[in-house]
Chains A and B, each alone.
Chain A
Amino acid sequence: MTKQSTTITADDLHAYADGKLTPMRAAEVEAYLAEHPAAAAEVADYQSINAAMRSVFDGVLDEPIPSAQVAVVLDRRPRFAVPAAAAVAGMMLGAGLTWFAQFGAVSPEGVALAELAEKSTAAYVVYAPEKRHPVEVVASESDHLSAWLSNRMNMSFRIPRLGDLGFELVGGRLMVGDATPAALLMYENAQGRRLVLYVRNDLPEKADTAMRYGRAQDTGVVTWTSGEAGYGLAGAFSQKELLPAAQLVRAQLAL
């Protein structure tokens, strides 16, 4: 310890109270405080003033973020031009926020999963009720469908089979993505209940995440990412019904 550095100023006392000093400098201040009770009292008072303020305001940090503020940042606006889009878009806006809240979208992965959840449920809500044109390419042309989607999405795309769970492929269609097109596959079971698999291959950051389940109103969704590819399986099913289907899809896609 040099003599020069042991000169303790008022600024040092504040900096010590605020925890802004390097450990070395803090030790010097501590040594000084041990011999100067008045200065020690000052520091203690500064700290208790800080503690009082923080006891009032720190609770805010743990509060959920208001959805309106998340919406501002994400600049959520309806993005589809489908019939009856207004009503659907209104619902989507609410659903999107739900996802961002449910998926704790403060990490890039959380944001990616929340967006997948939002897009998958949007696709489900828009296309699953379609009787006449639910898909562009029907299941009987599944080889063509597979080649077409692989080509447009710049990935090797094998169409997962869900027959073991009672779901048969209805077909697929191309969707709007960010950098490259996204794809939608639709499945249906004997009761006519539908499932959609939304796939994109243009995630801004590569990541392999675990599967996440969430739901908005009646629609459940399981999302995950693998490299640049993101997946969302959505339908009006419970978590118990949806998860095995998602696992089956994921296992086949990983082959």
Chain B
Amino acid sequence: MLRNRSLLIAEIPHLRRYARSLTRDADAADDLVQGCLERALGRFHLWQPTRRLRPWLFTIMHNLFIDTRRLRVNRTPALPLDEMHRPPSQAAGQEHHLAAQAVLRQIDLLPTEQRDAVLLVGVNELTYAEAAKVLGIPEGTLMSRLHRGRTKLREQLGMAGKRATANPQDAIRRVK
């Protein structure tokens, strides 16, 4: 059990990252992680050691998050809006920050199903099969949500068709 507990502790940073991406609020994210850990401990006997621990924990957390999301329908995630509308004359780091926040903002405008897929796959190191399991959908469904979500994002971000100058990724890398 000591070993299991240390395995659980080792997963906490990943749980916190996923939670942060879901809630966008540090306190809410840590509450979510806490709830997830409590639930996981309560049903640890159900975890099969042959399976990876992380997807199992993510599934618990995702379900927990859905439960709380239902309670606050239509409340958009708390984003630092003020930061996003500053004039683009700031330092490179700031510019990069704005770019990333703008991407997040567009992700949050996606239909919930697509948002979940884009965030889960993009931020966490899971296989597609594992990610599908976390979301409780078949892998094919995950792929089509991912595709629709990302295609929409490209449109919303004005990426599609503007490749000549393009490469926001370079911009992102450059300032890292």
Q: A99 to B172, alpha carbons, bound, how many Å?
A: 38
A46 to B123, CA, bound (A): 12
Question: How many angstroms between the C-alpha atoms of A112 and B121 in the bound complex?
Answer: 35
Q: Is the CB of B104 within 8 A of A205?
A: no
B17 touches A49 (CB 8 A): no
Indicate if the CB atoms of A65 and B13 lie closer than 8 Å: yes
Instruction: Specify which of A55, A66, A108 is in contact with B30 (CB 8 Å cutoff).
Output: A66
CB-CB under 8 A from B118, the residues of chain A are 49
A73 and B8 within 8 A (CB): yes
- Contact present for A57 and B30 (CB under 8 Å): no
Q: Is the Cβ of B169 less than 8 Å from the Cβ of A108? A: no
| Contact count A vs B, C-beta below 8 Å | 141
Stretch at the interface among A12-20, A119-127, A181-189, A246-254: A12-20
Choose, from A23-31, A37-45, A82-90, A212-220, the stretch at the interface.
A37-45
Of all chain A residues, the one with the shortest Cβ separation from B3 is A108
Q: Beyond A48-B172, A69-B30, A205-B3, is A61–B14 a contact (Cβ under 8 Å)?
A: yes
Whether a CB of chain B sits under 8 angstroms from the CB of A164 is: no
Contact of B37 with A73 in the complex, beta carbons under 8 Å = yes
A20: chain B residues at CB < 8 Å are 127-128
Q: Give A105 to B150 CA distance when docked, in angstroms.
A: 39
Q: How far is the CB of B176 from chain A (nearest CB, A)?
A: 7
- Checking A48, A70, A107 against B169 with a beta-carbon cut-off of 8 angstroms, the contacting residue is A48
**Residue of A57, A65, A75, A115 most packed against chain B (CB within 10 A):** A57
B13 touches A53 (CB 8 A): no
Q: How many of chain B's residues touch chain A, expressed as a range?
A: 35 or more
If A111-B5, A112-B2 touch, whether A49 touches B150 (CB-CB below 8 Å) is yes
In the complex, which residue of chain A has the Cβ closest to the Cβ of B125? A19
Q: Which of A45-66 contact B (CB under 8 A)?
A: 45-58, 60-63, 65-66
The residue on A at minimum CB distance from B5 is A73
Chain A: CB-nearest residue to B21: A57
Return B99 CB to nearest CB of chain A, in Å: 6
Per DSSP, are chain A's interface residues mostly helix, strand or loop, or mixed? helix
- Cα distance A73–B34 in the bound complex, in angstroms: 9
| A41 contacts B163, C-beta separation under 8 Å | yes
Rounded to whole angstroms, the CA-CA distance of A110 and B10 in the bound complex is 11
Interface residues of A in 104-144 (CB under 8 A from B): 105-108, 110-112, 115
Measured between C-beta atoms, what is the minimum distance from B109 to chain A in Å?
A: 13
* Contact across chains for B34 and A52 when beta carbons are under 8 A apart: no
Residues of A within 8 A of B157 (CB): 45, 49
Q: Which B99-129 residues sit within 8 Å CB-CB of chain A?
A: 99-101, 103-104, 107, 118-119, 121-123, 127-128
Docked complex Cα distance between A60 and B15 (Å)? 10
Determine if B88 is an interface residue (Cβ-Cβ < 8 Å).
Answer: no
Q: Which residues of B contact A44 (CB under 8 A)?
A: 163, 166-167, 169
Contact A108 B121 (CB under 8 A): no
Say which residue of B2, B146, B153 sits within 8 Å of A204 (CB atoms). Answer: B2
Q: Is B52 an interface residue (CB 8 A)?
A: no
- Residues of A close to B121: CB separation below 8 A: 14, 18
Establish whether residues B13 and A41, one from each chain, have CB atoms under 8 Å apart when the complex forms: no
| B34→A68 contact, CB < 8 A | yes
10 more A-B contacts (CB under 8 A) besides A45-B168, A69-B30, A69-B34? A20-B127, A42-B154, A44-B163, A48-B159, A54-B123, A55-B96, A106-B6, A108-B6, A111-B5, A115-B2
- Chain B residues close to A by CB (< 8 Å): 2-3, 5-6, 8-10, 12-14, 16-17, 20-21, 30, 33-34, 37-38, 41, 96, 99-101, 103-104, 107, 118-119, 121-123, 127-128, 143, 146-147, 150, 153-154, 157, 159-160, 163, 166-169, 172-173, 176
Q: A interface vs B, CB < 8 Å?
A: 10-11, 14-15, 18, 20, 37, 41-42, 44-58, 60-63, 65-66, 68-70, 72-75, 100, 105-108, 110-112, 115, 204-205
By Cβ-Cβ distance, the 7 closest A-B pairs, closest first, are A48-B169, A52-B103, A50-B122, A52-B100, A60-B17, A111-B6, A41-B163
